[in-house]
Amino acid sequence: MTIKQFRVYAPASIANLGPGFDVFGVALDGLGDYIKVKRVSEPGVRIQIKGFEADHIPVLAQQNSAGAVMNAALDRIGDSVGVELEIEKGIPPGAGMGSSGASAAAAAVAAQKLMGFELPQRELVKLAAQGEAAVAGSAHADNVSASLFGGFILVGDGYDVVRMETPDIGFVVVVPDVKYENKTKMARELLPKTVGLKDAVRNIGFASRMAAAVAMKDPILFGKSMCDSMIEPHRAGMIPNFHLVKLAALQAGAYGCSISGGGPSVFAVGENPAEIGKAMVEAFGDTKSKIYLTRPSNLGTRLV
């Protein structure tokens, strides 16, 4: 390893997108994490964190998504050197915008730089997913893949990822002031072990339409395909006034609205995201919330 210091940026993401549980993801513009990577002589991974909720994010490498990825990479390299990571959180943790996934993606790309060669796509995704496994208990790859490659992604078996350019459409993410410990793990535990055939068929239909919308660059069909019969009903209870918030978004002109990742944020797409977001905030009632206006990003993780 000859590289001594560099900086990496990884965008935020929204996973699932309604019917695409653990399969669909999209990268977001203007929201992301930075990681400054410094090679040091003392073995191991040391972490400093600043930005969103820095005091609440673990600095032990094995408990941090970026640290877990870098640990795995150093084991693979087999070099008796160490790395210092300075993580600047630009994505609020636990909000459903791929905060841990972005840090993991940034660390995976940083690891490539340290190794001096590019990993095959599947190996890069698998490495980044180890960060999600460390903090969420599941090596799901939808968020990390969207952050790594940008655009709209579909995750297949064995970390095989298909990427397409995302239609240009306004996104609004509204983050309610609701905190859950181990939120991702809790959100997964709410899910049923089996689903009904009717619900499965409905989700397959909407997921197929969403993929077609992306291929056709049709933002309206993209939004109208955000319908979920399998996951959303079970996670809606985590979110205050969820059904009212969704109704308010659609009445304000949103093409579609759903839970952002594992929640508790709710996102919508449409031509007037500011007005849609305002209606959603009002529907949250007494629960304070924050609006993030963004668009899809077709750029993924990169050195800056």
Question: 116: number of CA atoms within 13 Å, CB side?
Answer: 6
Pairing state between β 82-89 and 44-51: parallel
Q: How many CB atoms lie within 10 A of CB 125?
A: 24
Question: How far is C-alpha 186 from the chain's CA centre?
Answer: 16
- The pair of structure tokens assigned to 12 is 């935020």
Q: Is 184 a catalytic residue?
A: yes
The Cα–Cα gap between 274 and 278 comes to 6
Q: Which of 132, 232, 294, 301 is catalytic?
A: 132
Amino acid letter at 246?
A: K
Q: Is 60 helix (H, G, I), strand (E, B) or coil?
A: coil
- The closest alpha carbon to 23, from 160, 201, 165, 176, belongs to 160
Beta bridge partners of 268: 172, 257
Q: Which of 166, 184, 294, 301 is catalytic?
A: 184
Q: Is 77 left (phi over 0), alpha (psi -120 to 50) or beta?
A: alpha
Q: Is 132 a catalytic residue?
A: yes
Residues annotated as part of the active site = 132, 184
